[in-house]
Each structure stands twice: as structure tokens, then as C-alpha cells.
Chain A
């Protein structure tokens, strides 16, 4: 039952992403991209990940605001033709070969609905689920993994966010100083 529902939403995601890539109007493309994020949020809610559903929805709203205010407001000219014909054919051939390899790789995965930690009893997830409440005191196991068992990951994430925002600031500020002189 849940496979059918998730598959239906994934077909919607495929359609919305094709619209986002192929349409001529930039505003329509950005709005279709927002639809992709909203469908992703619904799928996360269906498969038992409410933390990620909240985060995905809010991040999607913020990225839409940033994209529309920063880029679409400046230039609404549509650039419709693709690059040259030979490059397009070569790209499609490479994508097709990549698709065949991907299908071959996906055949080796376990069936949808049987995660790896059920099949392998020595996976770390078993320990997190069994001892998470006793060892950390947090009822939300995702928070326990994020901030207690794997705190280095979160520290690295904070560093990456800081660096990317520093980069955005630096890119726009060098320009300002140059124009001042």
C-alpha cells in the first residue's frame, strides 16, 4: 500500500522536475522546483521521518524566497535554445550509459521495506535503538544520534555552513570595495 502511494508521489516529483528543467519561463521553473520540495516533504512524512519533513518544508520555502528575490527579480528574459547539437547527443549518450550502470547497481540493493540493519545484526543502528534512551536520555533517537553519538558530524556541518556564508559575503563584498574607488 505504502509503495503505491510513495511511487505516485515520486511520479509527481519526476513530472515537476521535468517541468522545472524544460519550461521557458524562469518563474514557472522556480515554482515547479518548489513543488518538488513539497512532494519530498510529504514522502518523508509517510515513511516515518517527521524531523526531515519539517526541515525540508521550511528550507524549501527559504530557498524559494532566496531564488526569487535574488535572481528572478533582475532578469526575466528567457534563454530557450539548448547548446549545440553534437554536445547534446554526447550528453544523452553518457546519461544513457550511466543509467544502465545505475540499474545494474540498484538490482543489488535489498527490497524496499527491509533496511540493512534488520539483515545485519551488527549494524550500529541496533545499538542506537536499544540503548539510546538509557545512554543519552533523549526520547528522539535522531537527536541522540545527531548530538551525542555522532557529534563530530554536526560540528563539521556547522563549519561548512559558516564557510559557505563567509564565501557568499566575500564574493559580494570585494565587488563593493572595487566600485567604491
Chain B
């Protein structure tokens, strides 16, 4: 761990800041129907948190937090949840992508649970975008070559061109 990653200043700053950046990403996702933001920027901010951890601490630490298999599962889960929400509109009202949950909060519009399926859709989109962008960063920049060792387990090796 000591020789991996960047200098101790970057590591200390990352250790203090990563929680706040992650919380900001979750805030942007959940409040996307009331304030500027939504699933796309929030998902990219969440992916940016993991990329910051990867750059600062080295890839073993970050892959211990969130592995490639978990990232791909979250990616597929977000897409399937979005499709499921769209299909439930067919079940309840007969039209694809209908906002089938009650849209008005009893005490007013500007509440967290006030816009039907839009917060749930934001949550699934944020999950999908964050997981897939973190996975593409792992594939492109950190792990040079990805192997499969016969039983579906992924092994990563780094091959440097001298």
C-alpha cells in the first residue's frame, strides 16, 4: 500500500474529501426533480469519487471497495430497474412510461416524494451511469489486460512496454 498511489498529501486530502464528494453525488441524484441535477450528473460524480480513490490509493484498494463484477451487476441492475419502472406504466394505465404513482403530496408540490416515478428513475439512471463509467475507467486506464481463468473469475495483469 505504501508504494502504490500518489504522495501522502494527496492521500490525506482524499481520505478527508471522498465522503463529502460521494454525499454530494447522492444529493444531486435524489433531489434531481427539485434542484439542478438529476441522474446523469449525479452518476458521473459518484463515478468520479471512485476514480479519485483509484488514482490516489492504487487499484487494489479501489477494487476492494467496488469490484468489477459488482460494477457490472449494478450497471445491469440500473438499466433493468429503469425498464421495469417503464413497464409498470403498461400494467397500471396501459401506456409505456406513464407516471403511475400519485403525483401530489398532500401538503404541497415541493417535497422530496412529490413527483411520482421521477425520483426512482433518477436513482436507477444514477446507478447505471456511475457503475458503467467507473467500469470503463478501470478497463481503459488502470487494468491493461483482463483475463478469464476458465471459471469466470477475472484476473488482471499489468503489462508495461519497456
Contact = CB atoms under 8 A, between A and B. Distances in A.
Note whether A and B contact each other (Cβ less than 8 A). Answer: yes
Interface of A: 50-51, 53-55, 58-59, 61-62, 65-66, 69-70, 74, 133, 135-140, 142-144, 146-148, 151-152, 154-155, 158, 161-162, 165, 168-169, 172-173, 175-177, 179-180
A140 B146 contact: no
Contacts, number: 139
Given A51-B36, A65-B137, A162-B79, 15 more contacts: A54-B36, A61-B48, A65-B51, A69-B55, A137-B99, A137-B115, A137-B118, A138-B34, A139-B34, A143-B38, A148-B118, A162-B75, A162-B132, A172-B139, A176-B146
B161 A155 contact: no
Nearest to B102: A137
12 contacts: A58-B45, A61-B48, A62-B51, A65-B51, A133-B109, A137-B33, A138-B118, A139-B34, A148-B97, A172-B145, A177-B147, A179-B145
B86 interface: yes
Contact of A50 (B36, B47, B105): B36
How many B residues are at the interface, by size bracket? Answer: 35 or more
Given A55-B44, A146-B38, A158 B82 contact: yes
Contacts of A66: 136-137, 140-141
A146 to B, nearest CB: 7
B118 A54 contact: no
